[in-house]
A and B are shown apart, each in its own frame.
Chain A
Amino acid sequence: MSGAPITIKSKAIESTRSSHTTEPTWVRVVLTVLALGIVAFILVSLLVVIFSEAFSSGWGGYVTALKDPDSIASIWVTITTAAVVVPLNTIFGICAAWVITKFEFWGKSLLITLIDLPFSVSPVISGLVFVLLFGREGYFGPYLKEHHLKIINTEIGVILATTFVTFPFVARELIALMQSQGSEEEQAALVLGANGWQIFTRITLPSIKWGLINGILICNARAMGEFGAVNVVAGILYTIPLQVDNFNSDNNMTAAFALSSLLAMLALVTLVVKKIVEFITERHAVQPE
Chain B
Amino acid sequence: MAVALTQRRRKTNRILPGFGITLGYTMVYLSLLILIPLATLFIKTHQLTPSALHDVATDPEVISAFKVSFTASFAAALVNVFAGTLVAWVLARYKFAGRSLIDGLVDLPFALPTAVAGLSLALLYSSNGLFGRYLEAHNIHVANTSLGVAVALMVIGFPFIVRTVQPVLEDVSLDVEEAAATLGASRLQIFGRIIFPAIFPSILTGFALAFARGLGEYGSVIFISAGLPGQTEIVPQTIMNELSNYDYGKASAIAVMMLLASFTLLLIINVLQWWARKKQGGQ
B105: Cβ under 8 A from any A Cβ: yes
Q: Does B113 lie within 8 Å of A267, measured CB to CB? A: yes
**Bound complex: CA A257 to CA B222 (Å):** 17
**Bound complex: CA A267 to CA B108 (Å):** 7
B147: Cβ under 8 A from any A Cβ: no
Partner of B174, one of A16, A199, A270: A16
Partner of A260, one of B116, B216, B235: B116
Q: Does B111 lie within 8 Å of A271, measured CB to CB? A: yes
Q: Does A103 lie within 8 Å of B34, measured CB to CB? A: no
Q: Does A218 lie within 8 Å of B110, measured CB to CB? A: yes
Q: Does A272 lie within 8 Å of B104, measured CB to CB? A: yes
A-B contact count (CB 8 A): 285
**Bound complex: CA A117 to CA B269 (Å):** 13
**Apart from A14-B95, A98-B18, A123-B114, what 7 extra A-B contacts exist at CB < 8 Å?**
A114-B35, A125-B41, A125-B239, A128-B41, A190-B15, A196-B18, A260-B115
Nearest CB of chain B from residue A281's CB, rounded to whole Å: 15
Can you list, as one digit per residue, whether each of B229-241 has a CB less than 8 Å from chain A (1) or not (0)?
Answer: 0000001110110
Known: A22-B93, A34-B86, A122-B262. A227 touches B100 (CB 8 A): no
Known: A31-B90, A118-B34, A260-B119. A123 touches B219 (CB 8 A): yes
Task: Kindly specify which of B19-27, B50-58, B133-141, B197-205 makes contact with the partner chain.
Answer: B19-27
* CB<8 Å pairs between A and B, sample of 23: A20-B182, A28-B94, A31-B90, A42-B155, A104-B12, A105-B19, A117-B34, A121-B38, A125-B239, A125-B259, A130-B37, A190-B15, A190-B17, A199-B16, A200-B18, A221-B111, A225-B115, A228-B114, A232-B243, A241-B115, A241-B116, A260-B116, A271-B107
Can you list, as one digit per residue, whether each of B57-98 has a CB less than 8 Å from chain A (1) or not (0)?
Answer: 000000000000000000000000001001101110111100
Residues of B within 8 A of A73 (CB): none
**Bound complex: CA A113 to CA B187 (Å):** 40
**Residue of chain A at shortest CB distance from B40:** A132
**Bound complex: CA A17 to CA B21 (Å):** 51
**Bound complex: CA A96 to CA B21 (Å):** 10
Q: Does B30 lie within 8 Å of A227, measured CB to CB? A: no
Residues of B within 8 A of A187 (CB): 10, 15-16
Residues of B within 8 A of A31 (CB): 86, 89-90, 94
Residues of A within 8 A of B272 (CB): none
**Bound complex: CA A222 to CA B100 (Å):** 23
Partner of B115, one of A49, A91, A160, A245: A245
Residues of chain A in range 46-87 having any CB-CB distance to chain B below 8 Å = 46-50, 53
Q: Does B96 lie within 8 Å of A32, measured CB to CB? A: yes
Nearest CB of chain B from residue A133's CB, rounded to whole Å: 6
Nearest CB of chain A from residue B216's CB, rounded to whole Å: 3
Q: Does B12 lie within 8 Å of A49, measured CB to CB? A: no
**Residue of chain B at shortest CB distance from A266:** B111
Q: Does B216 lie within 8 Å of A103, measured CB to CB? A: no
**Residue of chain B at shortest CB distance from A21:** B177
Binding site for A on B (CB under 8 A): 8, 10-12, 14-19, 21-23, 25-26, 29-30, 33-38, 40-41, 44, 83, 86-87, 89-91, 93-96, 100, 102-117, 119-121, 123-124, 129-131, 154-155, 158, 170-171, 174, 177-178, 181-182, 187, 190, 212-213, 215-219, 223, 235-237, 239-240, 243, 246, 248, 251-252, 255, 258-259, 262-263, 265-266, 270
Partner of B91, one of A6, A35, A121, A257: A35
Q: Does A10 lie within 8 Å of B116, measured CB to CB? A: no
Can you list, as one digit per residue, whether each of A131-144 has a CB less than 8 Å from chain B (1) or not (0)?
Answer: 11101011100000
**Bound complex: CA A116 to CA B34 (Å):** 10
Interface centre among B34, B190, B252 (most CB of A within 10 A): B34
Partner of A103, one of B14, B35, B123: B14
Q: Does A114 lie within 8 Å of B16, measured CB to CB? A: no
Taking residues whose C-beta sits less than 8 angstroms from the other chain, chain A's interface range is: 35 or more
Q: Does A120 lie within 8 Å of B34, measured CB to CB? A: no
A115: Cβ under 8 A from any B Cβ: yes
Q: Does A227 lie within 8 Å of B102, measured CB to CB? A: no
A45: Cβ under 8 A from any B Cβ: yes
Partner of B243, one of A44, A98, A131: A131
**Bound complex: CA A99 to CA B11 (Å):** 11
**Bound complex: CA A156 to CA B130 (Å):** 40
- 10 A-B pairs with the lowest CB-CB distances in the bound complex, closest first: A225-B113, A122-B216, A196-B17, A20-B181, A228-B218, A227-B219, A267-B111, A129-B37, A35-B90, A227-B115
A283: Cβ under 8 A from any B Cβ: no
A183: Cβ under 8 A from any B Cβ: yes
**Residue of chain B at shortest CB distance from A117:** B34
A176: Cβ under 8 A from any B Cβ: no
Q: Does B44 lie within 8 Å of A124, measured CB to CB? A: no
**Residue of chain B at shortest CB distance from A186:** B16
**Bound complex: CA A116 to CA B239 (Å):** 23
**Residue of chain B at shortest CB distance from A243:** B115
**Residue of chain A at shortest CB distance from B154:** A42
Residues of B within 8 A of A98 (CB): 18, 22
Known: A42-B154, A124-B236, A137-B248. A260 touches B120 (CB 8 A): yes
Residues of A within 8 A of B109 (CB): 43
